[in-house]
């Protein structure tokens, strides 16, 4: 802006003050600054969006007890001390202490990230020694959570920002409030990405250097009395201000912010095709530098949909194929066979009995994307049973043919659910379990295997008969249960009892559910086991391996219990077979052993080696991300729930789920996965690395061009040659720069280790390359300019001699035009050379289509400025049509010389780049070696951190 004002002031005091075209330079600089600032402002988002999204989770009204009556009031009017009445479908308006709960279950997925409905009770149980800590108390219902079944009443204990969800909002907002600079402007430096910080640092250094050079040049020109060739009578200091302004703008690469913004915008458009929506432009580039991805399990690494994957029925083990809630995909198969076994007697009997003991329904609904999808209504643990039942042909209409006459809901004390349904005929269903003569009722129990098996006295055999269930049989069944549990499967046991009449007097009005339960659960027949899991998304295990190969560590942060989390992490390749789970996986309670978090140093020791964090609270996720950032890691965080929002906001790059993610998570994030697929992150990482590589290339290109322009003007002033130009080249180098930003990434870009967080955009060897190429450009153009001066100015090259020539202005203008054409052509050649720091220019010469478009645009601008009469003589002072054959031939020699010399410089650049990569490998290998030597007890974990050679010759760590 200072350069723009100075240029306008000089023009206003000159002889052409009345000519509007004399202010072109100052106006152009001002427009560029405003365009840069405007684009940056347009891409920013409000920081408070995440907090606003939390308020949307509240329902409009709720029932409370006031003056002894149930009344409906606005949810936000609930106060501490109110008694709230809750039923299925309600959203809890505040934190409640329950004093009445009938089959009361709450979905706390938004708060904890776990998909299972949580049963609640009014009884306070003493914590057993050694038992893991629960994420939420059983006697509390928390604000923002939805009721999935049952009835309940509770006393309001906290509202607003004092609730658990309110504390999460405080974590998002931070403790320090919004900082300001210059009294009123918001200070956003704390939220800057590594790229923004590095570009700011680069801009500051260039600015200081440019101002110093301009001041130095001004005094040299003033002392040596350099005059304006177009107005020799003007003051020297006025002319030198104009030259200094030209030099300042030539030295400061004003196009870098604009090119960065345009490159990121183009990449963001491309990423939409990759199912990634970018909310903040620099975020995509930052993901390219990520060295660790902290991922929530449910919904990100997994489908977020409980799916039955195994069965044990009538003594036979089965596998269930398919994922999600679509019953039209997959089938039941005997282990080791690929044939459909859905007609087996044990399968049909077990699944039908289990379906009779479910309150959940399965129906098809139209999603927000207009596609019809299968959606369960009710308990998430029952949904897999209904889906599997549909796969073997047991429709909901068939289940309704068995009317329910009695139900005892699941409770955490009984650990099972019991129903009694009417049946008829000699078999449970066509092809199902035979029923004794006179059977009118069927009692079905579904619940924890160890509880169910203890109540069974007989078991169903493959031929349909019932055999005595011995202790050895029970041991065999429990081994099957243990095998499923080791695979992190959730196992339920199914047992039934055919009855000719109800074992209790249903006419008694005072009979309790406990008495009915006690009467019906006797002499049960064990039917089978169903094992469900939240399956990994397709491609996630391979993506984790690909991330590891790219030098990115994947850390799973989940609310699951530790053993379950370890099993899931192994199935997804987050933990390798050689990893010691005692070292690589921990319960988050170890971060806060006494309720208070360990000091930063102790937490950093843990996060440096742990790959699985179990039983994580929102505060734990936030501390883990902070710890990784303290260690210099560029941390990405994925998640979908409100509990993930603080960590998403704190991470260098927050990645939210677009389908299952809450609004709070989306607003706190930088990227949104529109397909909720972890695999899309790798595509974004690859694009981010390609973007950064392109940014480095066009920064090197622009800087080398600007260094050349500074050197050209500086040499002209010092030596006494007429200044090559006092106008600005604002267009001809911008299109090629933007094209370099769109340069396709190298094929092996995911094989390269992530760059350090504090690595500058311009590396030391890149400075050398820019200086060499700037010198090449300067040398070539000065040679062309000197020959042009000698040809057009009667053999004279010094300014003081040229001024004595008759018609010197026209002659000097012709020489300057030749130099200008040669410079633009050389810059275009330099753009092609800049496509790679090490490979020759002819390698995949036309691989970047945008480059061809950019060069054509630059050439159009060049010939428009040189050949159009009004522009050439009024604005730039050129005489393009008068150059002649010699001038055009001479101008063409510049690019040729530039190409030959610049290609020669690549050998030095390639050597410097290789040395830098080798130093990085050494830097990351030595700390790991010292870590291994200092922790002999962790030998297995340390063995897996040896550097391994990748195909392109760089080194990465296999964690």
390 and 495, same domain (yes or no): yes
The residues facing 444 across adjacent strands are: 419, 496
- Selected residue with higher pLDDT from 115 and 874: 115
pLDDT greater than 70 at residue 833: yes
pLDDT greater than 90 at residue 351: yes
> Quick one: pLDDT band at residue 236, thresholds 50, 70, 90?
confident
How much is the pLDDT for 54? 43
DSSP helix, strand, coil percent of the chain (3-state; round to 5):
50, 20, 35
How much is the pLDDT for 380? 78
Query: What's the CATH number where 739 sits?
Result: 1.20.1110.10
pLDDT greater than 60 at residue 412: yes
Is residue 769, in this structure, part of any structural domain at all? Answer: yes
Query: What's the CATH number where 97 sits?
Result: 2.70.150.10
> Quick one: pLDDT band at residue 475, thresholds 50, 70, 90?
very high
Is residue 191, in this structure, part of any structural domain at all? Answer: no
Average pLDDT for residues 19-41, to the nearest whole number? 71
Query: What's the CATH number where 314 sits?
Result: 3.40.1110.10
495 and 550, same domain (yes or no): no
pLDDT greater than 70 at residue 615: yes
The answer to whether 164 and 111 are in contact (CB under 8 A) is yes
Average pLDDT for residues 884-896, to the nearest whole number? 77
> Quick one: pLDDT band at residue 468, thresholds 50, 70, 90?
very high
Is residue 496, in this structure, part of any structural domain at all? Answer: yes
> Quick one: pLDDT band at residue 346, thresholds 50, 70, 90?
very high
Question: What is the C-alpha to C-alpha distance for residues 442 and 433, in angstroms, rounded to an integer?
Answer: 12
Rounded to a whole number of angstroms, the distance between the first and last alpha carbons of the chain is 50
Taking alpha carbons only, the member of 325, 334, 343 closest to residue 384 is 325
The single-letter DSSP state of residue 61 is E
> Could you tell me where the DSSP H helices lie in 231-344?
236-251, 255-273, 281-288
pLDDT greater than 50 at residue 954: no
How much is the pLDDT for 349? 93
- Selected residue with higher pLDDT from 577 and 233: 577
> Quick one: pLDDT band at residue 387, thresholds 50, 70, 90?
very high
pLDDT greater than 70 at residue 24: yes
pLDDT greater than 90 at residue 320: yes
What share of the chain has pLDDT > 90, as a percent? 15
- Give the residue from 646, 676, 706 where a domain finishes: 676
Full residue range of the structural domain in which residue 786 is found: 697-927
457 and 327, same domain (yes or no): yes
pLDDT greater than 50 at residue 952: no
- Selected residue with higher pLDDT from 746 and 624: 624
Query: What's the CATH number where 592 sits?
Result: 3.40.50.1000
> Quick one: pLDDT band at residue 945, thresholds 50, 70, 90?
very low
240-254, 734-748, 796-810: least confidently modelled range: 240-254
> Quick one: pLDDT band at residue 881, thresholds 50, 70, 90?
low
Average pLDDT for residues 667-687, to the nearest whole number? 83
- Selected residue with higher pLDDT from 646 and 956: 646
371 and 495, same domain (yes or no): yes
Query: Reduced to 3 states, what is the DSSP secondary structure of residue 735?
Result: helix
653 and 746, same domain (yes or no): no
CB contact set of 809 (below 8 Å; sequence gap of 6+): 229, 230
Query: Could you tell me the CA-to-CA distances from 588 to 116, 494, 833 in Å, in that order?
Result: 20, 34, 52
pLDDT greater than 90 at residue 113: no
How much is the pLDDT for 181? 57
Average pLDDT for residues 898-910, to the nearest whole number? 72
123-137, 268-282, 476-490, 756-770: least confidently modelled range: 123-137
Taking alpha carbons only, the member of 307, 308, 331, 352 closest to residue 527 is 352
pLDDT greater than 80 at residue 771: yes
Is residue 622, in this structure, part of any structural domain at all? Answer: yes
- Selected residue with higher pLDDT from 135 and 297: 297
620 and 738, same domain (yes or no): no
pLDDT greater than 50 at residue 655: yes
Is residue 902, in this structure, part of any structural domain at all? Answer: yes
Over residues 557-574, the pLDDT tens digits come to: 987 778 888 888 888 889
> Quick one: pLDDT band at residue 656, thresholds 50, 70, 90?
confident
pLDDT greater than 90 at residue 308: yes
628 and 523, same domain (yes or no): no
893 and 786, same domain (yes or no): yes
The answer to whether 736 and 855 are in contact (CB under 8 A) is yes
Question: What is the C-alpha to C-alpha distance for residues 955 and 511, in angstroms, rounded to an integer?
Answer: 73
735 and 859, same domain (yes or no): yes
pLDDT greater than 80 at residue 135: no
Query: Could you tell me the CA-to-CA distances from 590 to 542, 586, 791 in Å, in that order?
Result: 31, 7, 82
372-386, 551-565, 713-727: least confidently modelled range: 713-727
311 and 296, same domain (yes or no): no
Question: What is the C-alpha to C-alpha distance for residues 714 and 728, in angstroms, rounded to an integer?
Answer: 15
639 and 731, same domain (yes or no): no
Is residue 943, in this structure, part of any structural domain at all? Answer: no
The answer to whether 838 and 913 are in contact (CB under 8 A) is yes
Average pLDDT for residues 194-208, to the nearest whole number? 76
Helix (H) / strand (E) containing 293: strand 292-296
> Quick one: pLDDT band at residue 920, thresholds 50, 70, 90?
low
Is residue 50, in this structure, part of any structural domain at all? Answer: yes
Average pLDDT for residues 574-598, to the nearest whole number? 87
Is residue 934, in this structure, part of any structural domain at all? Answer: no
How much is the pLDDT for 420? 94
pLDDT greater than 90 at residue 853: no
Mean of the per-residue pLDDT values for the chain?
79
547 and 521, same domain (yes or no): no
Taking alpha carbons only, the member of 358, 408, 396, 398 closest to residue 378 is 358
pLDDT greater than 70 at residue 872: no
Domain count, the chain: 6
């Amino acid at each position: 802006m200072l350069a723009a004002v100075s240029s306008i002031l000089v023009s206003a005091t000159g002889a052409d003050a009345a000519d509007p075209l004399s202010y072109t330079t100052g106006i152009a600089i001002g427009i560029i600054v405003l365009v840069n600032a405007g684009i940056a402002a347009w891409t920013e988002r409000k920081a408070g969006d995440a907090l606003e999204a939390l308020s949307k989770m509240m329902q409009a009204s709720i029932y409370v007890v006031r003056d002894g009556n149930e009344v409906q009031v606005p949810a936000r009017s609930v106060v501490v001390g109110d008694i709230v009445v809750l039923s299925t479908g309600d959203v809890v308006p505040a934190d409640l202490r329950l004093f009445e709960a009938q089959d009361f279950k709450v979905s706390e997925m938004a708060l904890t990230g776990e998909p299972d409905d949580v049963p609640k009770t009014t009884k306070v149980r003493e914590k057993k020694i050694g038992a893991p800590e629960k994420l939420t108390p059983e006697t509390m219902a928390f604000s923002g959570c939805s009721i999935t079944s049952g009835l309940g009443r509770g006393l309001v204990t906290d509202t607003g920002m004092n609730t658990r969800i309110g504390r999460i909002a405080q974590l998002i907002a931070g403790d320090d409030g919004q900082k300001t600079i210059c009294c009123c402007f918001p200070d956003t430096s704390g939220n800057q990405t590594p790229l923004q910080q590095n570009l700011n640092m680069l801009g500051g250094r260039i600015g200081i250097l440019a101002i110093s050079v301009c001041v130095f040049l001004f005094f040299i020109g003033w002392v040596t009395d350099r005059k304006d060739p177009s107005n020799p009578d003007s003051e020297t200091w006025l002319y030198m201000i104009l030259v200094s302004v030209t030099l300042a703008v030539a030295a400061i690469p004003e196009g870098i912010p604009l090119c960065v913004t345009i490159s990121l915008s183009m990449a963001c458009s491309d990423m939409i095709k990759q199912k990634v929506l970018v909310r903040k432009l620099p975020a995509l580039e930052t993901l390219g530098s990520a060295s660790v991805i902290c991922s929530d399990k449910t919904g990100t690494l997994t489908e977020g949909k409980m799916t039955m994957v195994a069965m044990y029925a009538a003594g036979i083990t089965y596998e269930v194929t398919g994922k999600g809630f679509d019953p039209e995909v997959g089938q039941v198969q005997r282990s080791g066979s690929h044939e459909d076994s859905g007609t087996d007697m044990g399968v049909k009997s077990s699944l039908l009995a289990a379906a009779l003991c479910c309150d959940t329904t399965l129906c098809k609904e139209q999603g927000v994307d207009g596609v019809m999808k299968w959606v369960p209504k009710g308990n998430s643990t029952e949904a897999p049973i209904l889906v599997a039942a549909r796969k073997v042909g047991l429709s909901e209409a068939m289940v309704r043919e068995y009317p329910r006459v009695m139900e005892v809901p699941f409770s955490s004390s009984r650990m099972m659910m019991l129903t009694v349904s009417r049946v008829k005929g000699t078999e449970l269903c066509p092809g199902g379990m035979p029923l004794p003569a006179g059977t009118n009722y069927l009692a079905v129990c579904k619940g924890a295997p160890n509880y169910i098996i203890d109540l069974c006295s007989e078991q169903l055999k493959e031929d349909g008969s019932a055999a005595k269930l011995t202790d050895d049989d029970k041991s065999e069944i429990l081994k099957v249960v243990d095998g499923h549990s080791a695979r992190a499967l959730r196992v339920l046991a199914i047992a039934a009892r055919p009855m000719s009449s109800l074992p209790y007097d249903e006419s008694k009005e005072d009979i309790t559910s406990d008495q009915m339960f006690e009467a019906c659960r006797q002499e049960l027949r064990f039917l089978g086991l169903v094992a469900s899991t939240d399956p990994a998304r397709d491609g996630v295990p391979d993506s984790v391996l690909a991330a590891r190969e790219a030098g990115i560590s994947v850390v799973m942060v989940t609310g699951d219990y530790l053993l379950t989390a370890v099993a899931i992490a192994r199935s997804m390749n987050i933990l390798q077979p050689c990893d010691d789970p005692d070292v690589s996986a921990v319960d988050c309670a170890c971060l806060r052993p006494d309720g208070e978090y360990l000091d930063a140093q102790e937490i950093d020791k843990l996060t440096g080696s742990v790959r699985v964090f179990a039983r994580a609270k929102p505060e734990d996720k936030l501390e883990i991300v902070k710890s990784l950032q303290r260690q210099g890691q560029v941390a990405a965080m994925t998640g979908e729930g409100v509990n993930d929002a603080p960590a998403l906001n704190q991470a260098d790059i927050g990645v939210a789920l677009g389908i299952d993610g809450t609004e709070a998570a989306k607003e706190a994030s930088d990227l949104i996965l529109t397909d909720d697929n972890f695999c899309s992150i790798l595509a974004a990482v690859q694009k981010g690395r390609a973007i950064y590589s392109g940014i480095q290339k066009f920064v090197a290109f622009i800087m080398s061009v600007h260094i050349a322009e500074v050197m050209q003007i500086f040499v002209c002033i010092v030596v006494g040659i007429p200044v090559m130009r006092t106008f600005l080249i604002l267009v001809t180098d911008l299109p090629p720069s933007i094209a370099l930003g769109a340069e396709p990434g190298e094929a092996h870009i995911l094989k390269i280790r992530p760059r350090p967080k504090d690595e500058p955009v311009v590396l030391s060897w890149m400075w050398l390359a820019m200086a060499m190429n700037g010198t090449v450009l300067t040398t070539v153009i000065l040679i062309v300019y000197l020959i042009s001066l000698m040809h057009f100015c009667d053999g004279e090259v010094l300014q003081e001699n040229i001024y004595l020539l008759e018609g010197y202005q026209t002659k000097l203008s012709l020489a300057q035009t030749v130099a200008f054409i040669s410079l633009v052509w050389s810059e275009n050649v330099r753009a092609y050379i800049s496509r790679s720091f090490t490979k020759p220019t002819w390698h995949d010469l036309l691989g970047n289509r945008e480059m061809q478009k950019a060069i054509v645009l630059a050439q159009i601008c060049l010939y428009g400025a040189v050949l159009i009469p009004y522009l050439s003589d009024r604005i730039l002072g050129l005489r393009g049509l008068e150059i002649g054959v010699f001038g055009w031939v001479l101008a063409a020699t510049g690019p040729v010389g530039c190409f030959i010399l610049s290609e020669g410089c690549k050998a030095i650049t390639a050597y410097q780049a290789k040395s830098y990569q080798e130093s990085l490998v050494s830097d990351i290998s030595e700390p790991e070696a010292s870590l291994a030597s200092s922790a002999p007890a962790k030998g297995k974990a340390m063995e897996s951190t040896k550097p391994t050679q990748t195909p392109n010759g760089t080194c990465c760590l296999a964690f």
